[in-house]
Structure 1
Amino acid sequence: MKDIILKAENISKQYRLGLVGTGTLIHDLNRWWHTIRGKEDPYLKIGEANDRTVKGESDYVWALQDINFEIAKGEVVGIIGKNGAGKSTLLKILSRVTSPTTGSVKFGGRVASLLEVGTGFNGEMTGRENIFLNGAILGMTKKEIASKLDEIIEFSGCERYIDTPVKRYSSGMYVRLAFAVAAFLEPEILIVDEVLAVGDAEFQKKAIGKMQDISKGEGRTVLFVSHNMAAVKSLCTRGIVLEHGKVIFEGGIDEAISEYLNRGCKLNSGKSYNDEDAPASEIVKLLETESIDCKFKNRSDYFINEKVGIKIKFEILIETDDLALGINLYNSEDIHILSSHQKNEKINYTIGIYETIVWFPNNFLAEGYHFCGIAAMSYKGGFRVHFHDIHKFSFNIIDDYAENTTRRNDYKAKIPGVIRPILKWDNISFL
């Protein structure tokens, strides 16, 4: 049986838009009148889901709605979702920074949180004093904190400034020290929001390694929020996906990442643009993009031994002889795995609409979802990007042929960086 250390039950959080506090005086009086009569808050029955992309009709919005989950001791759980999904609100409730409108959270140990740069630190106090302050807040004795002091200072890399008021620290130094304090003062539950993105790559790697040690070696629980899917996958064992304030998926981290990325791109195998949303410059405008098979048919799913084409339709607005198209491909973990630019001879573009296709050979891409972006560039007089349309359409590679597994180039889709294979670009045709 799992040793449950954190349990969230029916958590919801409601906000009133445009005002500070709970709303108008009449609303507060109405709430009070219902409370003393033992009735439900009347404003719990109104409000809309937290979808920032649409114009709502209510002054109330549910940042979170009916959130339920359990986390066992020693688990590392990634909470992922788009901006505005409710991740930070959930972590603030779990950290007891704010209270839920409805529901409750049960804890089985001390909680340390790293939510925003500067949270929990007193700017007038030195780094050393803030270490003792945070330890005291966690319920530790001065002797316990002192025993960890040298480790905290060494890990943070802020030894030279440890007796300087933290208001003089850079944001990176702030995060380094705050993370070291949260990690080394031995909370049973460590909650980390996206603030690690402020730190440099070296520190992010160091911090993730420490969180792995905390969970695997010391049996403590970690809740981690990040938009870096590679970091989430390397650290977490389970994932919770939020969308519009609701849990839409809870399960293994690989499945959670796929659910998040697939919903984020809506698995469009193509996209057409209108004049308002078309990526463009004064020279070139993107009109349509789609994935196609060898019969030039648009599809979402391809077997691993099939060719996949990316068709690009664009409009030249001003005559030019300095233009190159390119594609950027991302795998299901949002890692940039491939770039390819046109290698055609110089083309003198006249005003009009054009079309080209870049082909991926069979047995080239690994199994899974791939997300494609289109770019247009010029090189004369300095490098210039006319547009870079990221993650706008996607396609799925299916490995259904066992005999092909030894021949495919899986390793190409696992390299966390940019490779530039020689792909076949069809000649550009004037439409």
Structure 2
Amino acid sequence: MSSFTNVPMLIQQMQQEIRQKRYTLALDTIRELEKLNVSRKQILWHKALLESKVGNLHVALAYLKELDSEELHAVKLQQTITDNWDTYTQIIAKYNDAVSEIQLGFGEKALHIIDHAMQLAGKLPIPIELYRMKTVLLARYESGTLSRYTAGLPLYALDDPTIKRVVAAEPPRPDIPRPVPKPKRKRKLKKEAVVFLASVATVLLVFVVWLLANLFAQPETATESPTTAAVKKPVIMEDVPKKEKPVEKVVTKPTEEAELEFVSNEAAKTYYNEGYRQFLKEDFPAAVAYLEYAVRTEESDYFTDDASYFLASSYLREQKYEDVVEIAKAFRQEQDVNYQESPYREGIRLQESRALWQLGKETQAVSILDELIHKSNEDWVTYEARAMKKLVVEGESGEEEEAAS
């Protein structure tokens, strides 16, 4: 599978993990995306967001400073971290105190310090290091409460490798042995009871034999067949033929093709998943049918920009170039953050340039390609744009040479 196919699949996986609040797994997915030349800006933003979700505010702040963005969501996150920085500093100080106590051999005291630090956090996300340390200390000093404690952990903590190992190593609770009741001894029947039961069985057997003999000895009685009454002949009546009216043909007017209506986000998600599956199978007409509904949500969701991108790709393969241009234009005009921060924002521009080229609008196509070639961060879109511009320019020069000859 090519890196081009990997990128959208990994992005979809990351978005699903974020929605499920499995931030530790989402961070692992981000690291995989980082290897595939995805936009550095997007990587930094998602790293900052996810690190803040797992309580590592100092790491999140470092990523935000490297991002150096003035966009609203980045500024808002940085402001939230700054407002809670004093509390976070106290939590980290408590964590360091607990580490010191462990080094001195006072693990139980460290456990109390960690509990106090967690209470101090309040509504702030508790750093994953605190969850990790408390899990290890409970397993060492209070193993009886470990199961109850881990049952209340958030998913991003349960996905941590250290916590997983500690929970997996927890010995199972021994079952309480129950006494097995001894089987009761069967009482032997007395001799008189045996004789009585045998006599009763003999009487019953004789009675049954006598009853069967009487049944077979009865003479057969002939039964007279019932007389059948004479059947009267029905009177034949001549019906006057009725004039039948000619059947009028009902001509139904052809219904005009209704426009696509808005669908709920839940239904749109189902359409998107099926459309994406058809896209991977290279059944592009089916992909178009599903993805056209997937983008018809009243409010954009995390998957709507994905649906727009793959719909444009399907249009391109179906040679519906005008539709590609329209959906790319609609994509740019969307003000929702799912579109503004979409990793497909530059990719759909590349598709738009291809469609414009096929429509004979080389000037507009080259303008978009120049924009993609000279963007600040180089990735797969940059390389594709360069290759395509070379193809467009060489195609134009080739046509001019043919015309001159």
TM range (shorter): under 0.3
Compute the TM-score of the two structures, normalised by the length of structure 2: 0.24
Tell me: higher relative CO, structure 1 or 2? Use CA pairs within 8 A at least 6 residues apart: 1
Which structure is larger by alpha-carbon Rg, 1 or 2?
A: 2
Compute the TM-score of the two structures, normalised by the length of structure 1: 0.23
Larger strand share, 1 or 2: 1
Larger helix share, 1 or 2: 2
